[in-house]
Amino acid sequence: MLEGAEVRLAVDIGGTFTDIVLDVGEVRKTRKLLTTPQRPEEAVLDGMRLILADARAHISDIDVFIHGTTLATNAIIERRGAKTALIATEGFRDVLDIGTESRYDQYDLSIDKPKPLAPRSLRFTVPERIDAHGAVRLPLDEAAVRALAPRLRALNVESVAIAFLHSYANPEHERRTAAIISEEMPGISVTVSSAVCPEIREYERTSTAVANAYVQPLIDGYLARMSDALQVEQYRGAIYLVTSGGGVTSIETARRFPVRLVESGPAGGAIFAAQIAARLGESKVLSFDMGGTTAKICLIEKYQPETSRVFEVDRAARFLKGSGLPVRIPVIEMVEIGAGGGSIAHVDAMKRVTVGPESASSEPGPACYGRGGLRPAVTDADVALGMIDPDDFAGGTIKLDPELSKQALLRSVGEPLGLSAETAAYAVHEVVCENMASAARVHAVERGEIVGQHTLIAFGGAAPLHAARVAEKIGVSRVIVPSNAGVGSAVGFLAAPIAYELVRSRHVRLDDFDTEGVSDLLQEMVTEARALVETGAAGAPVRERRAAFMRYVGQGHEISIELPNRRLGTADLAGLRQKFEADYAVMFERPIPGAAIEVLSWSVLATTEARNPPIVATVTRKPAGKATGSRKFFDGRVGEVIEIPLYRREDMAPGATIAGPAVIAEDETSTFVSNSFDAHIDGAGSIVMERKAA
């Protein structure tokens, strides 16, 4: 099976499960294991050994190893990062507290803001000043920098972030400070903002630098242990990490800029959904990725996920922008909420059933895992409802105990509200589905989209169980559950291109445009970005995309305008204005005639080509035939237990059609087809649910 075939392995470490996908030519194997939080590499190595045994292969046969993880995000949310200090320009100690001076809820006098990753007691300043044009106004006081070293040692600081005023225009003071700290404190992690985020906007740049410093020792240590363990296992292929922007990068770059990994797992899911959309010709898609810890929702238009340059981690208010820690990196735009299979349910002081964001994770896990968990999770509700076969969960590798689920649901939800275990389970299921439906509505409205006009693509271990109910709530009439949905993000990793995007700030007005200076800057960025991509491209063609972030002078935000891949000349200025005004009119109905335009930042993306999937042929629908078995399902709408058919996905040929309610089981997940939908298997093996005619 291995002879002449390329062998590619993808690993996605989530908060609850670690997913493994092995492609040997056209043959695919998958595995799903519980994550080992203290040493995540253990689950990865165990899963690799199991899946390689399935394929009768050895680790030395693997050509490419692609890895994504939520470790960086979880470290920030759970505050498990390094003890981090910030060194700022004198007078700017409190940038992290001042922020943008805005309030995410201006009428709430007691809003909760996320605590900075570097507390005020670990923030220091030194005399220096560079202006917005990069000119030195006050030389760096090197003696003051050296004097900080003993104080940092006494405080047991593990990592240092350096963020000086206007360092995006001139990084020399930051670089010199980093050299001094490294000299005085050998082995300490040092992050400079001009390398991580060389952009204007002081608060966001400082926050990004501190976040990078905060997770760097953790991620660097993990990746070093992983690399060493792979060498011991005689792995000789390439190692790549998935970034938040949907590309993959080298392990060296990931260790230097781990903040780029904060959304790597969800990014893989968006890539996976975009590939499915392209195969099926679905131009308007809402991707729904629900795993063990979180649910992620992303709009995909014309087979491309929405992208952004800012991401907020650890939001204090679930849907409110400005309530989290800003991280300024290229990222796939999505909304993420604490709603997964492990999300814990309870009754609040107002006697309302609430779910999440706290998660049972993999240790101890939901009550039904029998690993010591006493509080009910969403998975317990699904087990109690009869949607999950307790003997065949995760391919039979994890045995579930329905009695433990019912006891936990009664204790935490049923008894406080006077409900049976089954009715409590139905309440939990309804609440978590409504939470996800609300997130989808908000995400669509913020982008001017009508959510009901989209096709829902559901994947992740828990999404296929909840997709039909979420679709009912948001008015979606078509739901697709792709093959390998339970490990969708890891499958998406295998399709991701090798890519890296650089963004740098340099303020230029169109009416005073330095074409030579801008062209030199862009060429320098192209050289740097290509160097980071070509080493892993193995001779594959690398293309580039250049862009300018433009706005009318005095406005607060920019829009991205694509640039030609060549040096700019004065003849290009009229075209830049035309492109900007056309895109501006699409977003805001009309341009502002004759208004001055400026560019704040410049972007260069270097990337290999993504692997494009073939278009799926249509199939003739026919009855699926006899069900494999049946499940006793508690229908909360009528308050009764009913018998519904159970089908095995691998037994259903393309075109096989069933009517809901039913369960379609497979090793990685199960799909619940509600009474509102019919389902069939398409030419790619996807389950397609379509709303029944009224």
pLDDT 10s digits, 586-626:
888 889 988 999 999 999 999 887 766 677 778 888 888 88
Phi and psi torsions of 352, nearest 5°? -105, 140
Residue 10 has pLDDT above 60, yes or no: yes
Would you state the pLDDT for residue 667? 83
pLDDT tens readout for residues 514-569 = 999 999 999 999 998 888 888 777 778 889 999 999 999 988 889 999 999 999 99
Give the tokens for residue 151: 């104080």
Q: Sign of the C-alpha dihedral, residues 66, 261, 457, 283?
A: negative
- Pairing relationship of beta strands 248-250 and 284-290 according to DSSP bridges: unpaired
Residue 1 has pLDDT above 60, yes or no: no
Q: Which residues sit opposite 296 in a β-bridge? A: 289, 336
- pLDDT: which is higher, 203 or 111: 203
pLDDT tens readout for residues 161-212 = 999 999 999 999 999 999 999 999 999 999 999 999 999 899 999 999 999 9
Residue 676, Cβ density class (10 Å: 0-12 exposed, 13-18 middle, ≥19 buried): middle
Q: What is the 3-state secondary structure (H, E, C) of 505-552?
A: EEEEECCECCHHHHHHHHHHHHHHHHHHHHHHHCCCCCEEEEEEEEEE
Contact criterion met (CB below 8 Å) for 642 and 671: no
Residue 213 has pLDDT above 60, yes or no: yes
Residue 198: which of 644, 589, 529, 543 has the closest Cα?
529
Contact criterion met (CB below 8 Å) for 209 and 196: yes
Phi and psi torsions of 96, nearest 5°? -65, -30
- % the chain with pLDDT above 90: 47
How large is the average pLDDT for residues 463-473?
95
Residue 83: which of 146, 170, 153, 31 has the closest Cα?
153
At 643, the pLDDT band (50, 70, 90 cuts) reads very high
Q: Give the mean pLDDT of the chain.
A: 89
Phi and psi torsions of 72, nearest 5°? -65, -45
Residue 230 has pLDDT above 90, yes or no: no
At 216, the pLDDT band (50, 70, 90 cuts) reads very high
Residue 248 has pLDDT above 90, yes or no: no
Would you state the pLDDT for residue 185? 95
- Pairing relationship of beta strands 455-459 and 284-290 according to DSSP bridges: parallel
Residue 321 has pLDDT above 80, yes or no: no
- pLDDT: which is higher, 362 or 227: 227
Residue 3 has pLDDT above 70, yes or no: no
Helix-, strand-, coil-residue percentages of the chain, each rounded to 5: 35, 30, 35
Would you state the pLDDT for residue 196? 93
List strand residue ranges (DSSP E) for 302-393, in order. 304-305, 307-308, 311-313, 325-327, 331-332, 335-337, 343-347, 353-359
How large is the average pLDDT for residues 324-349?
86
Element containing residue 74 per DSSP (H, E): helix 71-77
At 424, the pLDDT band (50, 70, 90 cuts) reads very high
Would you state the pLDDT for residue 2? 54
Contact criterion met (CB below 8 Å) for 469 and 429: yes
Give the tokens for residue 361: 């994770």
Name the one residue in this structure whose structure tokens are 């060429």.
Answer: 523
Give the tokens for residue 200: 């204007």
Degrees, nearest 5: CA angle 74-78-79: 110
Would you state the pLDDT for residue 612? 66
Residue 252 has pLDDT above 90, yes or no: no
pLDDT tens readout for residues 58-108 = 888 888 889 888 778 778 877 889 999 999 999 999 999 998 888 877 887
How large is the average pLDDT for residues 415-427?
94
Burial annotation 46-73 (CB, 10 A radius, 16+ → b, else e): bbbeebbeebebebebbebbbbbbbbbb
Residue 118 has pLDDT above 80, yes or no: yes
Return contacts of 140-145, CB within 8 angstroms, 24+ apart: 140/173, 140/176, 140/177, 142/176, 142/180, 145/87, 145/176, 145/177, 145/180, 145/181
pLDDT tens readout for residues 494-529 = 888 888 888 999 999 999 999 999 999 999 999 988
Contact criterion met (CB below 8 Å) for 467 and 481: yes
Would you state the pLDDT for residue 318? 58
Residue 4 has pLDDT above 70, yes or no: no
Give the lowest-confidence range in 103-117, 199-213, 619-633, 649-663: 103-117
d(CA 330, CA 319): 20
